[in-house]
Structure 1
Amino acid sequence: MNASKLRRCVTSALVAGLFPAAFNVSAQEAPVAQEKGPAAADAMLHALVVDYPTPYRAMDTAEVKAVLDRVFTYLDRTTPAELVHKADGSPVTDLTRPDPDAVIKPGDFRLTSYEWGVTYIGMLAAGAATGDKRYTDYTIKRHQLLSQLTKTYYPVVQADPKNAHAPIKSFLNPHALDDAGALCHSFMKAKLGGSTVDYSQMIGICGDFVTKKEYRLKDGTLARGGPDGKGGVKMRPLPDTMWLDDMFMGVPTMAYLGAVTGDRKHFDDATKQVLQFSKRMFNPKLGLYMHGYVEGLRDHPEMRWARANGWAVMSMVEILEVLPKNHKQYNAVLEQLRAHIKGLAGYQTRDGFWHQLIDRPDTYQETSATAIYTYAIARAVNRGYVDAQMYGPMANLAWNAVASKVTAVGQIEGICVGTGMAFDPAFYSYRPTSVKAAHGYGPALLAGAEIIEMNKKYKFGLNDSGLMFQGAR
């Protein structure tokens, strides 16, 4: 071969190596296996079956419902909706006359606690997601009882607020958002969903307390530690203290009042609360909220308690359900929700949970907060607020973690008991857990219901061993 021909061959080979598509239309396709014969021992190690402590897959509807059914069976059995005589436990048959000896039949949980306001909402969601009327009927039956008791006993309580007896006095004469907000939210959610219970009197009582009577800071932000009515100040734990919990205990009620009454001032109040809570208590670098804030202090106790962050993220998804999209603060609330979900995402544990103090991995993995995050993240996916590709697998893993804590009899383990606000990590870190802590049952129902909806809408499966979004169904 002469020198000129050799140069042409070398040049052609170099060009083909640099620009293979110009010479071979199949060059963009995946290459065929290069080796032939028996595979090396390490060839498929990446596909080994992994023994995950928390199931690593998306549950189907039947599996999720089986978990929810256990919870329902336990709650239906242990939360009777009837009135009895306190003296001997005999049934009170006439609910239209006030009886000074009448009490709601004792069960494992109180029917008028804020936790049970969340449970009523969870039952409604589970009924809608599964088509099982038992869940919806659970809420409607108890709402009907509360409505009748309100008609019977509210005049008695009004006549003598201090000394009057009523089976649901904490609701009829509320002293804190915990007494009224979440219950009111459940009433309005049921009403908008078509319930025929007469909610008018109950919504009036609790809505009036939340919007007009609860203590606020000078700029209108909900707070604790106001006047005690005796010339002093309530120490909750200090004057002018904000608890992140109140972003849920009162704010969705404001938004739902806007939807029920048509008065847009309630939407304005709700969005103002979200933004003013967030301005004081949200750390944009971490994407997390602190639990407590004391107006006037230079520094604040930045304890990022998990369930309080749950109340905040749940509040935002609930507000967005009814907030008109043309409201001037709609996008601000939506962006705050996205920032919070993004922040939470970075702290999910390898087993699918979140820690009691989110950013302190030496604290225990807590179930109620994990359930709330599952619900809020899955709801955000379902509504298109966040990307299904990014957050759907995370929500499925979180649900599987929650489901692993539901016992055979429907009790839920790993729920932190009621928790006040404190200034040190020991308080939060050593809070006990109990299956009788009511805070986890409503969130678990909400989480399972929303996971059913998400996995009906989108497909998630394994891709190269990882749980991935696989498109709309």
Structure 2
Amino acid sequence: MKTNICLLIVLLSSATVIAQPKQSVKEFKNWPSGTSPAEIGKRVADRFVATPHTNFGRPTPPKVITYPESCAWYGALKFAKESKDTRLLTQLVKRFEPFFGEEASLIPIPDHVDYGVFGAVPLELYRQTKVQKYLVMGQNIADKQWGPPEGKRVVPESHIFYSKGLTWQTRMWIDDMFMINALQAQAFRATGNRVYLDRAAREMVVYLDSLQKPNGLFYHAPDVPFFWGRGNGWMAAGMAEILTSLPVTHPNRPRIMDGYQIMMRSLLKYQAESGMWRQLVDVPASWEESSGTAMFTYALVTGVKKGWLAQKEYAPAVRKAWLALVSKIDSNADVSDVCEGTNKKNDFQYYLDRKRLTGDLHGQAPLLWTAAAFLQ
């Protein structure tokens, strides 16, 4: 183990760093003491490292790694990279190594989007360390998402989607658009094979055409006509993920960029005075929720820094949202007011009554993505 970790650090320090275009944004500087993305990201990442495998707040350990943990792990790795924190990277590698031994049974079978997103973690580990076993694991998961339908979760519609060039895991829930895009975009970044990017882009266009409403927001699913905060956050973050890697010449980029920009304009309208967004985005009486807010902030930060969004219009809203999120972090680096795990239901009150949790990884994960995006 010690030898592998030492090798990892050598590889990291000797790797060629490719400069990325950056927008200088005054609103993203001069943070009040203790609120900067570098400080907050470090606190939340350290909290993740110290957190055992979690099972949606239950006292029992999970049978497999859950998607909130996968997303938080991915975020911690992104933050380690952008903050150049080799110690954090080493800790995250050490946490992953048991999956090649005593914790192998915790690797999710990738027969569902929530399980497949786990593959983004080894793919990011490969990108930062160039250790081949991470690529093999992650690429296998990405390939299975577009392979022939298999496993316990196959339903008749799976074959219909597969025959149309979509993943057989398509279910038309907006949550899918982060889970699928994070995995497939990561496979592209790790391999350079554009087939992964084409898959994700095609899938995203179908979801945009099917679920985006005139106000720029998204129903949770076709049969659930509510603008759930975190669900919309998954969609916003998923668009930011794929647009970050999609070439300007890609035929699906204009459609995805249009959907993204329409949504971002809508979010400005629905942002609360506090800087947060709500559990039901368009309902003023709804409670202010942290995970959706963090996902929206991630998408907005990315857009401002990449030049997709006008700084003058969007940067002040981003700063306000970030400081509002920081106010939700307690002394343990846990985020409060995070909506509990949520299945879809055609019931307005169901969404309003979801429990507000503290320390749930649904909230920790996008805070890490956002901190990394500020530093990028």
Give the TM-score band, short-chain normalised.
Answer: 0.7 to 0.9
1:373 equivalent to 2:296? Answer yes
Contact 1:222 1:246 survives alignment (8 Å)? no
SS in 2 for 1:292: coil
Contact 1:288 1:304 survives alignment (8 Å)? yes
> Residue 167 of structure 1 corresponds to which residue in structure 2?
105
1:189 equivalent to 2:124? Answer yes
Under a length normalisation based on structure 2, what TM-score does the superposition of the two structures give? 0.80
Q: Report 1:317-396 matches (<5 A).
A: 317-396=240-319
> Residue 443 of structure 1 corresponds to which residue in structure 2?
366
1:433 equivalent to 2:356? Answer yes
In 1, Cα distance between the equivalents of 2:311 and 2:279? 26
The verdict on how the C-alpha distance between 1:207 and 1:437 changes in structure 2, with shifts beyond 3 A counting, is: same
Q: Report 1:194-273 matches (<5 A).
A: 194-196=129-131, 198-212=133-147, 213=149, 215=158, 217-218=160-161, 219-222=164-167, 241-273=171-203
> Residue 85 of structure 2 corresponds to which residue in structure 1?
132
Moved over 6 A (4+): 106-111
The verdict on how the C-alpha distance between 1:279 and 1:333 changes in structure 2, with shifts beyond 3 A counting, is: same
> Residue 116 of structure 1 corresponds to which residue in structure 2?
69
In 2, Cα distance between the equivalents of 1:109 and 1:377? 33
Contact 1:79 1:109 survives alignment (8 Å)? no
- Percent of pairs identical after alignment? 25
Larger radius of gyration: 1
Alignment deviations for residues 265-310 of structure 1 (CA, whole Å, 9 cap, x no partner): 3222211111110111001x211011112xxxxxx42111111111
> Residue 112 of structure 2 corresponds to which residue in structure 1?
176
In 2, Cα distance between the equivalents of 1:399 and 1:61? 14
> Residue 412 of structure 1 corresponds to which residue in structure 2?
335
Contact 1:291 1:305 survives alignment (8 Å)? yes
1:167 aligned partner, one-letter code: S
Alignment deviations for residues 42-87 of structure 1 (CA, whole Å, 9 cap, x no partner): xxxxxxxxxxxxxx99626863233333323332222279xxxxxx
In 2, Cα distance between the equivalents of 1:75 and 1:111? 17
Contact 1:306 1:358 survives alignment (8 Å)? yes
SS in 2 for 1:363: coil
In 2, Cα distance between the equivalents of 1:61 and 1:137? 28
1:278 equivalent to 2:208? Answer yes
The unaligned stretches of length 5 or more in structure 2 are 1-27
In 1, Cα distance between the equivalents of 2:295 and 2:31? 18
Alignment deviations for residues 187-222 of structure 1 (CA, whole Å, 9 cap, x no partner): 223323344362133124411332223736444445
In 2, Cα distance between the equivalents of 1:359 and 1:217? 34
Under a length normalisation based on structure 1, what TM-score does the superposition of the two structures give? 0.64
- Which of the pair is proportionally richer in strand? 1
In 2, Cα distance between the equivalents of 1:66 and 1:362? 33
Q: Report 1:74-85 matches (<5 A).
A: 74-79=47-52
Contact 1:79 1:107 survives alignment (8 Å)? no
- Which of the pair is proportionally richer in helix? 2
Contact 1:368 1:439 survives alignment (8 Å)? yes
2:71 aligned partner, one-letter code: V
The verdict on how the C-alpha distance between 1:135 and 1:380 changes in structure 2, with shifts beyond 3 A counting, is: farther
The verdict on how the C-alpha distance between 1:63 and 1:259 changes in structure 2, with shifts beyond 3 A counting, is: closer
In 1, Cα distance between the equivalents of 2:191 and 2:45? 32
Contact 1:245 1:312 survives alignment (8 Å)? yes
Q: 1:401 aligns with which of 303, 315, 324?
A: 324
The verdict on how the C-alpha distance between 1:190 and 1:383 changes in structure 2, with shifts beyond 3 A counting, is: farther
SS in 2 for 1:185: helix
In 2, Cα distance between the equivalents of 1:383 and 1:193? 22
SS in 2 for 1:174: coil
* Paired positions, count: 334
Contact 1:314 1:376 survives alignment (8 Å)? yes
Contact 1:320 1:334 survives alignment (8 Å)? yes
SS in 1 for 2:234: helix
SS in 1 for 2:105: coil
SS in 1 for 2:351: helix
The unaligned stretches of length 5 or more in structure 1 are 1-55, 82-105, 154-165, 225-239, 294-299, 454-473
In 1, Cα distance between the equivalents of 2:137 and 2:267? 35
In 1, Cα distance between the equivalents of 2:183 and 2:217? 23
The verdict on how the C-alpha distance between 1:435 and 1:134 changes in structure 2, with shifts beyond 3 A counting, is: farther
Contact 1:395 1:451 survives alignment (8 Å)? no
The verdict on how the C-alpha distance between 1:63 and 1:353 changes in structure 2, with shifts beyond 3 A counting, is: closer
Contact 2:175 2:231 survives alignment (8 Å)? yes
> Residue 20 of structure 2 corresponds to which residue in structure 1?
none
| 1:113 Cα deviation from its structure 2 partner | 1.8
In 2, Cα distance between the equivalents of 1:399 and 1:451? 10
The verdict on how the C-alpha distance between 1:436 and 1:264 changes in structure 2, with shifts beyond 3 A counting, is: same
